[in-house]
Structure formats: structure tokens, C-alpha cells
Amino acid sequence: MDVNTKKMKKNAFRVTKHRGFTASRIRVPGGYLEAKYLGMIQNIAETYGNGIVNITTRQGFEIPGIKFADMPKVNELIQPIIEGLDINQEVLGQGYTASGTRNVTACVGNNVCPYACYNTSLFAKKIEKAIFPNDLYFKVALTGCPNDCAKVRMHDFGIMGMTLPQYDKERCVNCGACVKACTKKSVSALATVNCKVVRDAHKCIGCGECVLNCPTGAWTRSHEKYFRLTIFGRTGKKNPRLGEDFIKWADEASIIKIICNTYDYVKNYIDPLAPGGKEHIGYIVDRTGFEEFKKWALKDVQFPANAEINTPIYWKGIKY
Amino acid sequence: MGYCLDQAGFNQILNEWSKEYFVYAPKLFKDGGSFSDTDRIRYGEIHTVEEIVFDRKSDYSYKEILLPLSQTLFFFTDDMVKEADLPKKGAVILLRSCDLHAVKRLDEIYLQNGCEDYYYKRLRDRVKFILIGCQHSFENCFCVDMGTNRIDNYDAYIEMKNGEIYVDNHNDVWKPLFTTYSRRTPEVIPAYATENKTHIHIPDGITPDIAHSKIWDEYDSRCINCGRCNFVCPTCTCFTMQDIFYVDNGKVGERRRVWASCMVDGFTDVAGGGCYRKKNGQRMRFKVLHKVYDYKKRNGYHMCVGCGRCDDICPEYISFSNSINKLDAAIKEVSINAVK
């Protein structure tokens, strides 16, 4: 058997422990898909796989037990899923053309969740469109609010929804619900002064608890959607660590630009001898220094007026 | 007298009114909902008929115009007091039948319940009401059972049909305006809801013993005492006072009155640290019985007008109408216990 494993992996087929058998990896940006695709996935698993579908940790499907020889047929069956999920595909009909950059994951977001500050699925799709078919090892995740159910701080780029609370003191009756919620569930950014509420803008993390708990609509959400961008969290062997805050009150455009800029930075600085051409971005930043990364990352980025840039960044984590 | 106007014509009238009145109507506040990408319908000043939301119930009532959520009554310093200025103009309020019935309750409390409330009266005296027709009932409405689905003591009635505005005017002062800007003068009969999906039955045999029923207990844990039911209610009239001294200059301050809620912590706190209704079930009991029992004993008609906003807004899905419908069982329960 003569198979180019490098090409095969790039085509989103895994080299498994069972010789001659692969697993097809279907990525679902933002974990959001129409139910009709589940039937197609079932069909692939039952026709060419071993009848099993694994729900991956990155909101994709992995279909194991596929013979190497059947990969072209699987790619044919995957085609409507790729098109339906609007995946960037360089060559039509031949499956995924990149798999190094991992599926952009997201919590359920404001399609369903009351806490979410934005539509995580839509933004995940926008990022997917902007960064694929890049093949570099990037992990991006989105979460609707600072609860961080999507665990975005364990990703290279973590995007956390925020709203800038708007206070109409004429509608405030001093019931205390916002102050209580902020103190007990969030960061104690609210205080009562003269029977009205004062927000500490520096402390506020934009979680929206004040809005959610206000019974009169004195607190409302900003029309603009804002985000906290955390960078270079990672799991792995050497130095697992949580991502640190980079930008507070970023917008969609600035985040997409920063991620795209980082691809240029990585192409320039990645260790040419990195095994499998794969190196966590954070280790590259450890090598070049944060300032060099920042120079590349912020090139031509336009931030909202209230954006705060956290610099320099020092990471913690466990060092082995 | 009935009139039919096109939108431009009605906007001309709104423009004329704006010299003398602020015109308030249910309008859409984009992104104004609690959750992201949700809107809110509540009262706000309007300048064109296009801004008026006819096809949905407002989350909050017209009440906030007559009774602002937070109203500065006067300012004080040393030995001087200055009364807060009145709004520059009077108000025209567009509202549905249930809400216009609710105005009677507000008047009862603020004008007839002992001495007249000066701050209420000076706003109230300059208000005109325009009835919005209800072609159908909305979710959770129970106006029919409360007898508040129809009313005729309006200054004018308004209805939007096929892009045209139909008006029945009762206010002689406005007659020349409507005559000038109307296209036709058809007969206009107010539309009203004749049927609700939600039904309530208020039993006759309620006695104070009902306070001992077990029906209230479930609300101890279900209710989160946020007060939304009170704040959206067109008939809740409770307020509290705030005397504050400005932070920059502690010699100057103001007195405000702000809405209070019998569901929210602090409402029954008294000097010495007492609190009459600690449990949420007790607060629910107080509210329900006030709306459909003890207010009537004093005034001869029920306080609740059946708008259903409390059901619409409750984040814990507690239904006020359903709690009314439990009263029958509660009466039986306490009467059996009394026999024992």
C-alpha cells in the first residue's frame, strides 16, 4: 500500500492505529448545523465506516473504520456537507483542503442562551471563512459571555462576548437587583450611590448580569457588540497554560484582522524543523518575544474607540 | 364622529399636537430587551404614526407617564425648597382598553383615596387618552373575564387598517384638526377583544382565612422576588421616597419618589428590623389578594384589569391568572381546616 500520509491528513483523514483504516473528520464551524446533515454522516459511517460516529472535542464528527481505498468515495459523500456548511474548498469534490487549523468552536450563543452577548455561530462562520484553508496549527474558540462555557482560554484565540451596559437612571428604582447580581455572580463593578447605581468601568467585564437582572429596563445592552480577546492558551506536553487577556472591548473586524495577521507572523517565525510542521503559536511567541508578535498582530488593525490593549503579556501555567 | 386619514394626514395632526403635547405610544426600542438581539416594546415619545406599535402588547404599561419610575418632587438647600418643574407640555397617551380601565385605578388611589396627590394631579390634569383598538386578544390577556375589554370614555379612538387610520373623536377641541386632515368621515366603531384564550374565575367566598392556604407555599421557591410583575402592572401604584444629598455639595439635595414593589426585598421592612412578609409566597399572596380581593372590598371593583403583562414577563413562568384560578381550591382547603 502506497499512501501519502501528509496529503491524507491535510485532506482531513486521520492515520489511525489500525493499519489501512482511516477516520474521516468533518468539522462543523461553531458546532451549528442543520439536522439534515446528520443523516448524511450516518450514511457514510454505515456505508464505508464501522457504523460508529465519534463526536469530537472540537465540535466535529469523526467517522472511523474507513478503508484507505474508500477515501475518494467518502469525499464524494462529504461534498454536500462541505457545501452546506459553506466551507472554503480549493478543489471541488475532493474533500477538505486543510485540516491543520482546527475547527472553530463555539458555545450555543445567543441563538438559545440568555447569557450570551452575541451570535457565536455566525461569528464562528465568519472566522472560518476568513482563515481557511490555512493549514497552520491554530485553535480558535468563541464563547457568548465571560462564563466561558466554551473554555476559550485554552485556545490560541479565545473570543468572549461582552456588552457595554447602558444605564438610564430615570428608569432605576433602586431595587438592588443589579448590584446584588454583579456582586454575587460577577466582579462587583456596581455600587449604590444616592439610591442610584454607579458602574466602575475599569472593573466591568461586560457580562450583562445587570441587564439580565434589571426588572425595569434601566440597564440595557449596547447596540454594539464587544469582545474580550484572550491569546495563546494551550494544552499539551511542555507548558499548558490559560490564555491571557489581550484586547478588551474589541469588535469583530479587529479580531479577524488580528487572527489573519498572526498567520503571517507564524509563517515568518515558525521553527522550520518543527515536527510535522506543527508548533503551538505560544511557543513561537515565547521565542520571538511578545513585542515582536504584537507588532505583526496589530498591523493595520482598527479598534473601537474604547478598546483596551493589554501589554506586555506574561503567561503562567505549568512548566515541565 | 368618525374620520379616516392617511398616514401623512395623521402625522400632520401629530405635528400639530406636538405644540401642546408630548405624544406617547407603545414603540419599539431596538436591542432594548434583556437578552442580546432582542427588542423591547414600551412607552416612549412618538412623532409619526409609523413609530406606533399596533400589533403587539407593550411589555410595560403607559403608567410611567403619569407616574414616572423615578420622579424628583423638589430640590432643597438650607432653608429653601424649589419644586421640580412640570414637563413643558401636557401628554397624549395612546393605550388599549385594559390600560384605560387601569387609569381609573390610578385615579382612585391618587385622587380619591384620602387627599389628592398633588404631584399626580398636576400631571394627570394635562393628559388626553387615545384608545387603541384590539382586533384580537394577545397571549395571556384576560380582559374579557375582568370586564375591561371595552371602554368609551376616551378623547379619541384609533385603529390602523390597510395602511389607513380610522379615528372616532370625542374631543371637541380636536374636531377642526380631524376635519382638516381626514379624507373621509365614515362611522368608526371601536374594535375590542371579545374572547381571550386565558380565563379566570374569581370566587365570591374569599375570606381572610385564605392566607392560611398551602397554595402560596410553592411560590416560596418558584418566585425570585424580582418585582417585574409589579413594574409592568398598569395598576400597581406603590412608591417609596428617597431624600438624597448631592455628592459634590452635601448642602443641596432632592426628594424623589420612585416605584416600589411588594415583591422586592425591603417593601415591608419597618423600624426595629421587622419585616412583615419575608417569604416570597407571602408576598405573592398579598399581591394576588390585593388585585382580586381586598381592593374590591374598599372600592367596589377589582384592581386587576387582566392585561396579562405579569404573566408575559415573569422569568420564572409564574402565571398570575393561574394563581387566581387556584383560589377556589384554597377556599375549600381553609374551610375544611376550619371545620376540623
> Average pLDDT of chain A?
96
Provide the grid cell at A199. 458602574
When computed from its CA atoms, the radius of gyration of chain A, rounded to whole angstroms, is: 22
pLDDT digits (tens, 9 = 90+) for A111-152: 999 999 999 999 999 999 999 998 899 999 999 999 999 999
pLDDT digits (tens, 9 = 90+) for A230-268: 999 999 999 999 999 999 999 999 999 999 999 999 999
Range A232-261 burial, b when 16+ CB lie within 10 A, else e: bbbeeeebebbbbbbbbbbbbebbbbbbbb
pLDDT digits (tens, 9 = 90+) for A30-84: 999 999 999 999 999 999 999 999 999 999 999 999 999 999 999 999 999 999 9
Mutate to test the interface with B, among A143, A173, A185 (most CBs of B within 10 A): A173
**Model pLDDT, residue B340:** 63
**Model pLDDT, residue B269:** 95
- If residue B23 lies in a helix (H) or strand (E), which one and from where to where? strand B21-29
Mutate to test the interface with A, among B29, B38, B70 (most CBs of A within 10 A): B70
Interface check for A275 against chain B (CB to CB < 8 A): the answer is no
Q: What distances in angstroms separate CA B205 from CA B208, B209, B297, B326, one per listed residue? A: 10, 11, 12, 13
Residues A107, A108, A114, A116, CA torsion sign: positive
Provide the grid cell at B307. 392585561
Q: What distances in angstroms separate CA B322 from CA A23, A30, B236, B327, one per listed residue? A: 55, 40, 19, 9
Domain locations in chain A? 5-84, 105-162+225-309, 166-220
Residue B103 has pLDDT above 80, yes or no: yes
How many Cβ pairs within 8 Å bridge chains A and B? 83
Confirm whether A105-162+225-309 and A166-220 share one CATH topology: no
Residues 6+ apart with CB under 8 A from A139: A101, A102, A155, A156, A157, A234
Chain B residues interacting with chain A (CB cutoff of 8 angstroms): 29-32, 34-37, 40, 42, 59-60, 68-70, 226-228, 231, 242, 244-247, 256, 258-261, 264-266
CATH label, A5-84, candidates 3.30.70.520, 3.30.70.3340, 3.40.50.720, 1.20.5.510 = 3.30.70.3340
Q: Are residues B256 and B242 in contact, defined by beta-carbon separation less than 8 angstroms?
A: yes
**Model pLDDT, residue A1:** 84
Q: Which of B15, B10, B33, B106 is nearest to B65 (CA)?
A: B106
φ, ψ for residue A96 (rounded to 5)?
-70, 145
Q: For residues A111, A117, A120 and A122, what is the CA-based torsion angle, rounded to 10 degrees? A: 80
Cβ distance of A116 and B36 shorter than 8 Å:
yes
What is the rounded CA–CA span in Å between residue B179 and residue B165?
A: 14
What is the rounded CA–CA span in Å between residue B246 and residue A241?
A: 48
Residues 6+ apart with CB under 8 A from B332: none
Distance from the Cα of A211 to chain B's closest Cα (Å) equals 6
Residue B338 has pLDDT above 80, yes or no: no
Topology of A166-220 in CATH? Answer: Alpha-Beta Plaits (3.30.70)
pLDDT digits (tens, 9 = 90+) for A98-113: 888 999 999 999 999 9
φ, ψ for residue A124 (rounded to 5)?
-60, -40
Residues 6+ apart with CB under 8 A from B74: B81, B82, B83, B84, B254, B255
pLDDT digits (tens, 9 = 90+) for B172-202: 999 999 999 999 999 999 999 999 999 999 9
Dmax (CA) of chain B: 73
Angle between helices A281-288 and A252-269 (to 10 degrees): 70
Distance from the Cα of A175 to chain B's closest Cα (Å) equals 7
Please, which residues bridge with residue B253 across strands? B76, B245
Cα angle B328, B332, B337 (rounded to 5 degrees) comes to 145
Predicted complex ipTM: 0.95
Give me the CATH code for the A105-162+225-309 domain, please: 3.30.413.10
What is the rounded CA–CA span in Å between residue A275 and residue B209?
A: 80
Range B196-226 burial, b when 16+ CB lie within 10 A, else e: bebebebbeebeeebeebebbeebeeebebb
Q: Which of B100, B93, B206 is nearest to B143 (CA)?
A: B100
Q: Which of B31, B140, B51, B136 is nearest to B94 (CA)?
A: B51
Cβ distance of A117 and B36 shorter than 8 Å:
yes
